[in-house]
Amino acid sequence: MSARILRGIPVSTGIAIGQAYFLNRCHFAGITRQTVDEADVPVELNRLTEAFESACQDLERILGLVPADLHEHAAIIELHLMILRDPKFRKRSQDHVCSTRINAEWGLERAVGDVEEIFAAMSDEYLRQRGQDIRVVAERVLTKLVGRQAGLRAITQRAILLANDLTPADTIELEINKIMAFATAQGGKTSHAGILARSLQIPAVVGVEGLGDDLSDGQVIILDGFHGRIILDPNEDELARYTDLQTQLEAYQATIMRSCQLPAETIDGYRFEVLANIELFEEVVAVNDNGGEGVGLYRSEYSYLTRTQMPTEEELTETYLDMAALVAPKKLVIRTLDVGADKLMRSQTTREANPALGLRAVRYCLKHRDVFRTQLRAILKASVLGNVSIMFPMVSGLQELVEIKKFYRTVQAELHAEGVCFREDMPMGIMVELPSAVITADLLAQEVDFFSIGTNDLIQYSLGIDRTNKDVSYLYQPLHPAILRSIKWVIDAGHKAGIEVCLCGELAADPFCIPILMGMQVDAISLGPHAIPGIKRIIRQASMAECTALLKQVMASQSVARNNKLVRELIFRRFPEELLFYSSLLDEDIN
Ligand code: PEP
Ligand code: MG
């Protein structure tokens, strides 16, 4: 048994074994107040000036490295530069040094405290949160003062990067050849760092409790991106076991990649469409490389979440046109804005008592028609290129859908009147992710061209568990009879109405669930690009006959435990090598 295991949320699969490097661990907590002689005050002032200047130069250099397509990152780096260049902030630090004859580090700490207090008192939520940026930026200056090399440039050999959080400036500098994996104390499954890790294909764990408490740079650790663990000071057995697992994973990865471009067709000739979920333009390459047959869910909120201003119609149109052209001739399903709950835009300052039950997704859009109109116009304009579909999230029932369609038609009529071209028959679908939509799926199916079942939210709302709350995550049970019945009911209702049904929640990437979805005859699944090869391989090795038989047993069962057992038995018997990737057997061994 190893000395200690830290736990977090796995956001990118894989295993890394190596030395830890803590990014920017130069905290004010370690700084002490020192009184200096009167004669040394100018020396301290000079140190401050040089540290500010040097930190500015670093950020200016990083800003110059930002690729054009990541311009939203530049906005945050520019904000940090603005703080560093702000003469009032510098002057406060200098004033503290002069008035109380203290060292530069302590003067800086006092100034940070002052400014944080000002921000904390602000009524605007967004501005209040910017208080955190002050400390992030000041730590760059502090790093200069104490003579440490800042940021990722200080890493001289490949390491597992640990950080409180990864700022956009950090991620721009991230050199893949120096970083094996990373873990952060902050963040959740959908945080920027997680998205980055998946697109870089390096293992990552976020939201790690206790990260950094007793960790020193150079300490050997194992990062397990499958289970969200960091094993400190692993013993020989653990090292041998994880090294072995790594070798097997590499071999397995090579095998699944060889067949990932083949169709997802069972051995008895039943074919499924395998699409990808993406957030970023850059992920399209991964979709194609991993055998994705199109994009089943483009989460369009990224363009809104990373900036202070709402994107303009021109910007959105350009993004969607570029995306449609890049994905073409394959399908691109653009989901309209799904903000609210844990995905707050900077302009969303109103606090809600229950944000997950509040003004989220299409409800937000119906309330903010100007925002909705801008996005609908951009999607419609982009429909002239490639193979674009539009999809509305969080639809709760027929009346709301009718309202959405009415507004959608108004926007179409406006474009018509302006002589703007768009595809009149662009397929239009909805996400089925609320229990009310499930129950009325037969009615909703009459109104749309396709369904996409969003099981992440469907499980949250059906089982009453906050998907971001670690304490209730044990209740996340995809094989709960309520969930299975819901999914089956929606698929059947869709088919009865002659429309396609896709499933785009995390369940689609879960090998333990895929045979059941196949048995239910879901038409398509949409999942993270890097999970596609493994899932396609299961589909290609399975038969519809065995999936149908499994489904029958599972639907007749009354308990989650029995369903888990039935599914595991099939997977262990038929696809044992898949377990390398996803095995919870490891959990049993380690815990
Ligand atoms: C879902 O809810 O299953 C889904 C795919 O949407 P998101 O995770 O973006 O809420
Ligand atoms: Mg959802």
Q: What percent of the chain has pLDDT over 70?
A: 85
Spacing, Cα 343 to ligand 1 middle (Å): 11
Enclosing H/E stretch for 526 = strand 524-527
Whether residue 183 is found in the same domain as residue 245: yes
Mean pLDDT value across residues 155-167: 80
pLDDT, position 68: 62
The residue written with tokens 């398509």 in the block is 524
User: What is the reported pLDDT for 328?
Assistant: 96
Q: What is the mean pLDDT of residues 477-484?
A: 94
* pTM exceeding the 0.95 threshold for the entire prediction: no
Query: E strands of 197-347, at which residues?
Result: 204-206, 220-224, 229-232, 264-265, 271-278, 294-299, 331-335
**Nearest CA, atom 6, ligand 1:** 454
- Judged against a pLDDT cut of 60, whether residue 138 lies above it is answered with yes
Q: What values do phi and psi take at 22, rounded to 5?
A: -90, 115
- Note down the domain range covering 245: 4-21+154-253
Q: Which residues, judged by CB distance below 6 Å to any ligand atom, belong to the binding site of ligand 1?
A: 297, 299, 338, 433, 454-457, 504-505
Q: Is the pLDDT of residue 312 over 80?
A: yes
C-alpha pair distances (Å), 234 with each of 7, 373, 518: 15, 55, 40
User: 178 lies in a domain?
Assistant: yes
547 is catalytic: no
Q: Within a domain: residue 591?
A: no
Residues 33 and 13 in one domain: no
**Is residue 528 a part of any domain in this protein?**
yes
504 is catalytic: yes
340 with 358: CB under 8 angstroms?
yes
Does some domain include residue 587?
A: no
Task: Looking at the structure, tell me whether residues 105 and 141 fall in a common domain.
Answer: yes
Amino acid, single-letter form, for residue 4: R
Of 73, 192, 227, 530, which residue is the catalytic one?
192
Q: Could you give the C-alpha distances from 18 to 159, 194, 218, 232, 409, in angstroms and in order?
A: 6, 20, 8, 11, 56
Catalytic residue, from 260, 502, 504, 513: name it: 504
Helix, strand, or coil here: 503?
strand
Q: Which helix (H) or strand (E) holds 41?
A: helix 41-65
Residue 484: phi and psi, rounded to 5, are: -60, -45
Residue 590 is assigned to a structural domain of this protein: no
Number of Cβ within a 10 Å radius of residue 363? 17
Bond prior to 329 in cis (omega within 30° of 0) = yes
Q: Give mean pLDDT, residues 12-36.
A: 79
For residues 134 and 166, membership in a common domain is answered with no
pLDDT at 156 over 70: no
Last residue of a domain, one of 145, 167, 188: 145
Q: Count of domains in the chain?
A: 3
Q: Select the more confidently predicted residue: 492 or 141.
A: 492
Greatest alpha-carbon pair distance for the chain in Å reads 87
**How many A from CA of 191 to the centre of ligand 1?**
14
**Whole-angstrom Cα distance, residue 198 to residue 280?**
11
